[in-house]
Amino acid sequence: MTATTGMGQPAEPDSAASLVRTWTTGHVRFVSMERPLARNALSNSLKIALVSAIDEYEADDWLRAMVLSGCDCGAFSAGGDLQRVVGRLEQGLPLTDPSVPDLFARLAARSKPIVAAIDGYALGGGFELALACDLRFAAEGSYQIGLPEVNLGLFPGSGGTQRLPRLVGLPKGLDLIANATTMKPADAKAAGLVDQLFPDAAACRAGALAYASKLAEGPTVAIGHAKLAVTQGFGAPLDLGLAIEREAIGRVFASSDAEEGIKAFGEKRKAEFTGE
C-alpha cells in the first residue's frame, strides 16, 4: 500500500539509511530530512534515522552544535504519517509503535544545542519536532506553521501541548491548540514561536549554521548544562529547579572549560574552550 502524508502526497519507499543526510562544518553537524515526495512526513523509518543522527551527534565529542532542516521540498516536515496511524487503528494497535525509538524523548534528553531551520511547512508532528529543538529559525513565505491536529479530532501528543504554551503563555497556547491555528512564518515570529526570520530558505539555513557555529566556539559544557537546567527546571517547583541547577553547577565547575575560562579571565586573554 502506498503511504500518504497529511498533505496528500505519495511517499517514496522508506529506507532509514537514505532518509537523513548529514555533513559537518567545523564543529557543527548539519542534518537534513530527505523525504521530499512525502514533504518529510515523520514515518517510522524517518524517526529511526533522526534518532540515529541525534545519538551520533550527542556521542561525538567533536560536534558541539547541530542544525536540523528540510530538503528544498517546500516543507520542514508536513507532520505525522496519517496513513500509518489509520492502519494501526484499523488493526486495533496502539498509535505508538513500541519498536520505534521515541524521537521526541531523545530530543528532550540531549545536552547539546539544536537549531531548527524551518524552510517550509511545519505542521503537526513536524512543528512539534521544531518545538523540541532549542531555537527555531524560519524562512519567510506563504507556507503555514502550527498544530492543526484538533481539526481531525486529535490533539498534538508529541510534546506540543507542553512546549507551545511555554513559549507563548497558557491562554494563547490553549487558544492556538484548541482552534488548530496555523500561521505564516512572520505571524509565528510575532507570536513567539519562531526566534529569527530570514528572506528565503537558503538564508535561513545559512543563518542557522552561523548561529550554531558561534555556539560551537563557546563554552559548550556550560551551554549544555545551562540548557538542561532551564528545560528540566522550567515549570518545576522552585526547590526542585534549584536542585537541578546545583547539580549542573557541580558538573560545569569540574570541567576543563571552566578551568580555562577562569584562567583566561585572569590572564586577560580570549579563552580557548575544548568542550571538555
135 & 197 share domain: yes
Pick the more confident residue, 138 or 224.
138
* Residue 5 belongs to a domain: no
* Residue 10 belongs to a domain: no
Identify the pLDDT of residue 30: 97
* Residue 84 belongs to a domain: yes
pLDDT bin (cut points 50, 70, 90) of residue 100 is: confident
* Residue 66 belongs to a domain: yes
Of 199, 217, 235, the residue that ends a domain is: 217
Give me the CATH number covering residue 259: 1.10.12
* Percent over 70 (pLDDT), the chain: 88
For the residues 71-83, what does the mean pLDDT come to? 85
> Does the pLDDT at position 3 exceed 50?
no
164 & 226 share domain: no
> Does the pLDDT at position 5 exceed 60?
no
128 is catalytic: yes
Catalytic residue among 128, 140, 245, 259: 128
For the residues 91-106, what does the mean pLDDT come to? 77
Total domain count, the chain: 2
C-alpha cell at 84: 500509518
Range of the domain at 249: 220-266
Pick the more confident residue, 10 or 180.
180
31 & 156 share domain: yes
* Residue 273 belongs to a domain: no
C-alpha cell at 236: 518545576
56 is catalytic: no
Identify the pLDDT of residue 86: 61
* Residue 7 belongs to a domain: no
94 & 160 share domain: yes
Q: Which residues, including other chains, have CB under 8 Å from residue 23's CB and lie 6 or more apart?
A: 29, 30
For the residues 124-136, what does the mean pLDDT come to? 95
For residues 257 and 263, give the distance between their C-alpha atoms in angstroms, rounded to a whole number: 10
197 & 236 share domain: no
Q: Which range among 91-100, 202-211, 263-272 shows the weakest confidence by mean pLDDT? A: 91-100
* Residue 9 belongs to a domain: no
166 & 259 share domain: no
DSSP-assigned letters across all residues of 142-197 = S--EE--GGGGT---TTTHHHHHHHHH-HHHHHHHHHTT-EE-HHHHHHHTS-SEE
Catalytic residue among 149, 217, 267, 272: 149
112 & 209 share domain: yes
- Structure letter (DSSP) for residue 106: H
CA distances to 87, 142, 153 from 94, in Å: 10, 35, 17
pLDDT bin (cut points 50, 70, 90) of residue 140 is: very high
For the residues 239-251, what does the mean pLDDT come to? 85
Pick the more confident residue, 56 or 156.
56
For residues 58 and 251, give the distance between their C-alpha atoms in angstroms, rounded to a whole number: 17
96 & 198 share domain: yes
243 & 176 share domain: no
189 & 79 share domain: yes
44 & 138 share domain: yes
Q: Which range among 42-56, 63-77, 245-259 shows the weakest confidence by mean pLDDT? A: 245-259
> Does the pLDDT at position 2 exceed 60?
no
* Residue 258 belongs to a domain: yes
> Does the pLDDT at position 88 exceed 60?
no
Average pLDDT, the chain: 85
253 & 169 share domain: no
